[in-house]
Amino acid sequence: MNPLSLVLISLAACCIVMTLVWLWATRIKNAGVVDVFWAFNFPLIACLLYFLADGWEVRKTLICSMVVIAGLRLGLHLYARVIGHLQEEEGRYKQLRLEWAGHENRNFFWFFQFQAISNVVLAIPFFLIALHKNPVLQLVEQIGIGLWLIAVIGEGLADWQLSAFKKDPRNKGKVCDAGLWNYSRHPNYFFQSLMWFAYFLFALTAPWGLLAIISPLIICYLLFKVTGIPATEEQALRSKGDLYRKYQQTTSVFVPWFKKA
């Protein structure tokens, strides 16, 4: 199947998923469910590529397995966080609902569709890798796979530490500073960005492989400027106040390798 057909089929599938999720979110008045299915859309794309792309079987199996593992892990983590509190919409979406008052359903529809489009744009490395026919894994691809393994373990550890902290009733109202969160305010975002650079390295030897740099650059832009760190820290400041300001003064904003004095 040609690349354009793969892209269009993937886009249609993601848009259909997000339309159904929007209908559900409108009914329950909780737009936070979009995060769960944004993560699940990547395994959906991976499955489509596995059955429809005509690249080298070993490489295709590797990338599709990697995307399914990472996407399901993140999606299930978000599912546990969001679905367990459906009656309470996350602060970021509450704020959007206030800003879009009177037009929130319409705006959220297009917001959800944009998430579907972002799934396909960010999946550029997956398309390139799944269509790559060279029957040899080169060194840079192997490095990408190794970096991905570090990233998925690190992100999983950060998410687990945060969940364990929140589950302890003694920590109610406190700022998580356990494990990796003692060094970085956003270790999960750090490893998420690292994962996308790993996909870029894996795709680099494919025809037009340099195009894959688009994905980690977009992820880093979103994390640093849009829906990631700014929105998360604004919400933390609203809910934790001075406790979070003190935490900001003693931890790195992103890289979890050192702690400020």
What is the DSSP secondary-structure string of 65-91? HHHHHHHHHHHHHHHHHHHTTTTS--H
Checking if the pLDDT of 78 tops 80, the result is yes
Cα separation, 143 vs 1, in Å, equals 29
Query: Above 60 in pLDDT, residue 187?
Result: yes
pTM: 0.90
| Predicted local confidence at residue 258, as pLDDT | 58
Residues 6+ apart with CB under 8 A from 245: 237
DSSP string, 132-164: ---SS--HHHHHHHHHHHHHHHHHHHHHHHHHH
* DSSP letter assigned to residue 261: -
Share of the chain above pLDDT 90, in %: 69
Quick check: 234 pLDDT over 50? Answer: yes
* Maximum mean pLDDT: which of 81-85, 86-90, 116-120, 228-232: 116-120
pLDDT at 252: 82
> What is the rounded CA–CA span in Å between residue 121 and residue 42?
11
List % helix, strand, coil for the chain (3-state, nearest 5).
Answer: 75, 0, 20
Q: Does residue 108 surpass a pLDDT of 70? A: yes
Least confident of 40-44, 53-57, 255-259: 255-259
pLDDT for 235 equals: 79
Q: What is the mean pLDDT of residues 121-145?
A: 97
- How large is the average pLDDT for residues 233-258? 81
> Which pLDDT belongs to residue 208?
96
pLDDT digits (tens, 9 = 90+) for 158-180: 999 999 998 899 988 889 888 99
Q: Provide the pLDDT for residue 261.
A: 47
pLDDT score recorded for residue 257: 61
The two three-digit tokens of residue 131, written as one number:
């269509």
Three-class DSSP category at 210: helix
Does the pLDDT at position 260 exceed 60?
no
CA 173, CA 80: separation in Å to the nearest integer?
20
Report yes or no: 128 and 203 within 8 Å, Cβ to Cβ.
yes
Quick one: pLDDT band at residue 8, thresholds 50, 70, 90? very high
How far is it, in rounded angstroms, from Cα 28 to Cα 18?
15
pLDDT score at 146:
98
Position 224 scores a pLDDT of 85
Mean pLDDT score, 130-152: 97
Query: Quick check: 239 pLDDT over 60?
Result: yes
pLDDT of residue 164: 92
The pLDDT, as a whole number, for residue 52 is 97
The CA distance from 203 to 256, in Å, is 26
First CA to last CA distance, the chain: 56
Is 183 in contact with 249 (CB distance < 8 Å)?
A: no
Q: In whole numbers, what is the pLDDT of the chain averaged over residues?
A: 92
pLDDT value, residue 155: 95
* SS3 state of residue 76: helix
pLDDT at 248 over 50: yes
